[in-house]
Amino acid sequence: MTFRADQFTFAAHLRDPKTNPPPAGVDPSRLRVYRALFFNNVYTFLRNAFPVARKTLGDAAFRKLVRAWYAEHRAQTPLFPRLPGEFAAWLAAEPDAAATLPAWLPELAAYEWLETELDHASGEVDLPGVDPAGDVVRGIPVLSPIALAVQYTWPVHLIGPGFKPNRPPPQPTTLLVYRDRADRVRFMETNQVTHQLLLLIASDEGHTGKELLDAIAQALPQADPTAVRRAGRKMLITLRDFDAISGARPPPR
């Protein structure tokens, strides 16, 4: 029990040495080595996972933020490459940290982590029973399993050291983030119509591209339905050609 208590004391000290004293009788020089080794290992993963956030905040501010997370977060994964996902989730859910940070930072971190997730995802663009050159208008379009339509309050794809917005734009930012057949992670800024089309494709496997476009046109009475359908047909083909849509299944007979 004494050994177990010493382990917890040692771990608490490594996490937050300013608050938690070390176990008695440990050489201070060895403690310095352990403190640097543990923190730097974690920091390296987070620094590499969030390069834009780090550069935009600045090295000192980003390191301070990682220190706060390191001191108080209880990891749910033993895998170092999964830690950045927990860091992004912590930023989105931690009110004390968010109060002193730029309002766009949680969404920027979520966006950067999404790119990493897709880069390492095990899925493939090509799917059984889906024709990669299929007719995505008359057939049933199938979204790639490594493509996601996402929406943010902030223009996360534009934020960087040279652009730190003070207020969100009036319209949300919609993006398509996907991995193509060459295993390159790409993104496309979309409008609300394309975003809704992608959501419909992702949630519905029984309707043709034409039927989905008809539904969107009917839901937009202020827009020219012919123009919506024409633009939608072009977008479906573009998404297929870009590998965001895997292809098409034949419609039911």
Report the distance separating Cα 193 and Cα 179, nearest Å.
Answer: 22
Cβ-count burial of 83 within 10 angstroms (0-12 exposed, 13-18 middle, 19+ buried)?
Answer: buried
Beta bridge mates, 141 = 248
Beta bridge mates, 150 = 175
For residue 21, what pLDDT band results from cuts at 50, 70 and 90? confident
With residues binned 3-state (H G I as helix, E B as strand, rest as coil), the percentages for the chain, rounded to 5, are 50, 10, 35
pLDDT of residue 25: 81
Q: How many helices (H) and strands (E) does the chain have?
A: 10, 5
Phi, psi angles (nearest 5°) of residue 235: -65, -40
pLDDT of residue 99: 64
pLDDT mean over 33-44: 90
- Are 102 and 47 in contact by the 8 Å Cβ rule? The answer is no
pLDDT of residue 1: 58
Q: Percent of the chain at pLDDT above 90?
A: 66
Task: Say whether 174 sits in a helix, a strand or coil.
Answer: strand
Q: Percent of the chain at pLDDT above 70?
A: 98
Report the distance separating Cα 249 and Cα 251, nearest Å.
Answer: 6
Report the distance separating Cα 214 and Cα 225, nearest Å.
Answer: 8
Is residue 205's pLDDT more than 80?
A: no
Using one digit for the tens of pLDDT, what is the confidence trace for 136-180? 999 999 999 999 999 999 999 999 999 999 999 999 999 999 999
Report the distance separating Cα 156 and Cα 151, nearest Å.
Answer: 10
pLDDT of residue 217: 92
Q: Where are the domains of the chain?
A: 2-120, 140-249
CA distances from 20 to 9, 15, 145 (A): 8, 8, 46
Report the distance separating Cα 104 and Cα 166, nearest Å.
Answer: 9
Residue scoring higher pLDDT (195 or 2): 195
Q: Average pLDDT of the chain?
A: 91
For residue 3, what pLDDT band results from cuts at 50, 70 and 90? confident
pLDDT of residue 49: 94
Report the distance separating Cα 47 and Cα 40, nearest Å.
Answer: 10
Report the distance separating Cα 185 and Cα 228, nearest Å.
Answer: 28
Report the distance separating Cα 36 and Cα 14, nearest Å.
Answer: 9
Using one digit for the tens of pLDDT, what is the confidence trace for 86-144? 999 999 887 666 567 899 999 999 999 998 899 889 899 999 999 999 999 999 999 99
For residue 20, what pLDDT band results from cuts at 50, 70 and 90? confident
pLDDT of residue 108: 97
Q: How many residues in the chain?
A: 253
Report the distance separating Cα 154 and Cα 50, nearest Å.
Answer: 17
End-to-end CA distance of the chain: 70
Is residue 78's pLDDT more than 90?
A: no
Please, what CATH class does the domain formed by 140-249 belong to?
alpha beta
pLDDT mean over 27-39: 87
The model carries a pTM of: 0.88
For residue 201, what pLDDT band results from cuts at 50, 70 and 90? very high
